Structures are given as C-alpha cells and as structure tokens.
C-alpha cells in the first residue's frame, strides 16, 4: 500500500484560497466593517471573482488582494470625481474619505455594492475627499541665530558640565571635602 501524501494538490490549493479569504476578511475589518454577515458576503464575492480570474502561475493571495483592490477602486470611482482613468491616487483618496466620513459604520449595507447609492453617502465621500496636496517647494533659508548672548552662555555652561562627567564628579567631591574640612578643622 502506498503512503498517502500529507497534502494533495487540491487540498493545498484550497488551503491557499482559505488563507486568501482570511486575508480579505482582515482587510475588510480594517475598513471598520462590523457586520460578520456583510464581511462574509463581500469576502465570498471577492474570492469568487478572484477564482474566476485564476491563472496557473498566480498565487491565490495575490489574486484575491488584486481583486479586492480593483473592486474597491471601482466603487470609489463611482463616488469620487476622477482626474484620469486608472488613477492610483483615487484609491488613496477614497480610503481617506471612507475613514473620515465613517462610511462603513453609517452605511454598512452600501459598502462596495453595485446598488444605487444614497445621496448623503455620495455627499459625505465627496466632502471628506482631501483632493491633491500642494506641490512641495524647497527653500534655502539661513538658520536663525541663537536667542542671545545670555541664553547662549548658559547653554554652553550646561553643555560643558554634561560633556565632562568625570570633571563634574571631581568638582563635587572637592566641594564636599572642603565643607567637611571646614566643619571638622576648627575643632582640633
């Protein structure tokens, strides 16, 4: 009788798809979805689409996350104005608007659904959209001078005493010994 391998290819593939489904569930929970039924429904939909797109050379985890990203991007495209097709920035802006507008908690039944969206949901997503940031420009500003000679002098003394801890300890011991000598010396 031949020994049965621990994992057959079918079981191993199912285990990889189960891991992909678990990753999609965690991703949906990260978007603050609270309903386990809704998370399970969306996960099943996304894994179903990913399995339909499956290729022999692709990992199930990668396919599931690509599908998740594409579905979320398509949903954001329905809600937010786009600049150009395939705008990668759209997904980032959509996630920010989703979090700031608390959409998953306020309209959980409409999250990533193809049904007609409430006007209030679209308004909230568009109002919380931050848009593009201004372009960063570097300048060549000179550093500010120190606050003044008094502040600079006290800062130098403070830094000097902490740069030479051995000298600080010796000075402290000399002061203590001088005080002891002055207190005990006249009594002899």
Q: Over the stretch 37-53, which tens digit does the pLDDT of each residue have?
A: 888 999 999 999 999 98
List the one residue out of 93, 67, 98 whose CA is nearest residue 107.
Answer: 98
Residues 73 and 163 in one domain: no
Kindly state whether residue 18 falls inside one of the protein's structural domains.
yes
Band the pLDDT of 168: cuts 50, 70, 90.
Answer: confident
- Tell me, what's the pLDDT at 129? 57
Residues 61 and 120 in one domain: yes
**How many domains, in total, are found in the chain?**
2
Residues 42 and 97 in one domain: yes
Kindly state whether residue 79 falls inside one of the protein's structural domains.
yes
Residues 103 and 166 in one domain: no
Residues 23 and 114 in one domain: yes
Kindly state whether residue 2 falls inside one of the protein's structural domains.
no
pLDDT over threshold 50, residue 3: no
pLDDT over threshold 70, residue 10: no
Q: What are φ and ψ of residue 136, in 5° steps?
A: -85, 130
pLDDT over threshold 70, residue 175: yes
Q: pLDDT tens for residues 118-163?
A: 888 888 888 775 655 667 777 777 777 665 555 555 555 556 556 6
Kindly state whether residue 74 falls inside one of the protein's structural domains.
yes
Kindly state whether residue 141 falls inside one of the protein's structural domains.
no
pTM for the full predicted model: 0.59
Residues 164 and 97 in one domain: no
Residues 160 and 75 in one domain: no
pLDDT over threshold 80, residue 32: yes
Q: pLDDT tens for residues 71-95?
A: 888 888 888 876 655 555 778 888 8
Query: Sign of dihedral through CA atoms 32, 101, 70, 91?
Result: negative
Residues 122 and 161 in one domain: no
- Tell me, what's the pLDDT at 153? 52
Q: pLDDT tens for residues 99-124?
A: 888 888 888 888 888 878 888 888 88
Residues 31 and 84 in one domain: yes
- Tell me, what's the pLDDT at 124? 84
Within 10 A of 76 (CB to CB), how many other CB atoms are there?
22
Average the pLDDT over 173-188 and give the result: 84
Residues 105 and 166 in one domain: no
Residues 27 and 109 in one domain: yes
Kindly state whether residue 37 falls inside one of the protein's structural domains.
yes
Kindly state whether residue 177 falls inside one of the protein's structural domains.
yes
Domain housing 180: 149-184
Residues 120 and 158 in one domain: no
Kindly state whether residue 173 falls inside one of the protein's structural domains.
yes
- 55 dihedral zone (left: phi>0; alpha: psi -120 to 50; beta): beta
- Tell me, what's the pLDDT at 63? 93
**CA distance linking residue 60 with residue 43, whole number of Å:** 13
């Amino acid at each position: 009788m031949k020994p049965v391998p621990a994992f057959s290819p079918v079981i191993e593939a199912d285990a990889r798809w189960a891991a992909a489904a678990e990753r999609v569930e965690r991703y949906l929970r990260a978007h603050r979805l609270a309903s386990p039924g809704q998370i399970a429904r969306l996960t099943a939909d996304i894994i179903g689409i990913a399995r339909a797109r499956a290729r022999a050379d692709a990992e199930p985890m990668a396919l599931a996350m690509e599908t998740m990203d594409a579905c979320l991007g398509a949903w954001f495209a329905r809600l937010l104005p786009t600049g150009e097709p395939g705008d990668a920035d759209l997904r980032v802006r959509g996630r920010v608007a989703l979090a700031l507008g608390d959409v998953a908690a306020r309209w959980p039944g409409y999250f990533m659904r193809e049904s007609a969206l409430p006007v209030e949901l679209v308004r909230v997503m568009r109002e919380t959209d931050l848009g593009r940031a201004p372009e960063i420009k570097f300048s060549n500003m000179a550093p500010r001078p120190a606050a003044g000679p008094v502040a600079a002098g006290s800062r130098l003394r403070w830094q000097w005493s902490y740069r030479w801890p051995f000298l600080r300890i010796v000075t402290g011991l000399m002061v203590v010994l001088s005080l002891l000598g002055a207190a005990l010396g006249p009594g002899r």
